[in-house]
């Protein structure tokens, strides 16, 4: 104990100058969405088309086990994660309604897609990346025309 006090007194005695430097840390407001796949592909020929009963449900061949979605936000307040899909245009110049594609998060209920469907709602920072599984299926009613249909699925993280 006496040696410690002696060292502090000696150190203080030999110190000739002190300097202070302000330190500041700024965290930018930020959000991020990351997806594990670039494509969602339904190939009905590989899944037994035509179906025996209608409506029938087909699952994508890619990704076969769902899409991994990683979400991060450090924003205060409420936010929502949404998915949107416009009608899919076929090479036959016909349309496939977005409601024929259904989506679910983490094994929850199936929801038909539209121009915007809320998949998840939250409040405040996520405390790191949240990892979710997003699955898709195609609902066939029997009135679909042959052809290849394409569209763009958009995920958005919005502040309320």
Domain count, the chain: 1
Of the candidates 41, 23, 22, 121, which has an alpha carbon nearest to the alpha carbon of residue 73?
Answer: 121
Give the C-alpha separation, 120 to 103, whole Å: 12
Task: Using alpha carbons only, give the angle 89, 90, 96 rounded to the nearest 5 degrees.
Answer: 65
Q: What is the mean pLDDT of residues 64-92?
A: 92
- % helix / strand / coil in the chain, to the nearest 5? 10, 40, 50
In tens, the pLDDT along 84-110 reads: 999 999 998 899 999 999 999 999 999
Q: Are 132 and 106 in contact (CB under 8 A)?
A: yes
3-state secondary structure of 152: coil
In tens, the pLDDT along 104-159 reads: 999 999 999 999 999 999 999 999 999 999 999 999 999 998 889 999 999 999 98
**19 lies in some domain:** no
**7 lies in some domain:** no
**109 lies in some domain:** yes
Structural domain harbouring 116: 28-159
**3 lies in some domain:** no
Domain with residue 111: its CATH number is 2.60.40
In tens, the pLDDT along 30-62 reads: 899 999 988 999 998 888 889 999 999 999 999
């Amino acid at each position: 104990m006496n040696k410690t006090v002696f060292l502090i007194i000696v150190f203080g005695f030999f110190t000739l100058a002190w300097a202070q430097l302000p330190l500041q840390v700024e965290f930018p407001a930020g959000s991020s969405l990351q997806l594990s796949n670039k494509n969602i592909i339904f190939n009905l020929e590989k899944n037994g088309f035509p179906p025996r009963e209608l409506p029938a449900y087909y699952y994508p061949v890619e990704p076969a086990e769902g899409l991994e979605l990683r979400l991060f936000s450090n924003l205060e307040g409420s936010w929502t994660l949404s998915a949107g899909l416009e009608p899919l245009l076929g090479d036959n110049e016909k349309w496939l309604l977005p409601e024929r594609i259904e989506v679910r998060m983490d094994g929850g209920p199936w929801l038909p897609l539209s121009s915007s469907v809320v998949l998840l709602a939250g409040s405040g920072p996520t405390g790191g990346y949240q990892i979710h599984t997003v699955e898709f299926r195609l609902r066939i009613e029997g009135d679909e025309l042959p052809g290849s249909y394409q569209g763009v699925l958009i995920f958005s993280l919005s502040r309320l």
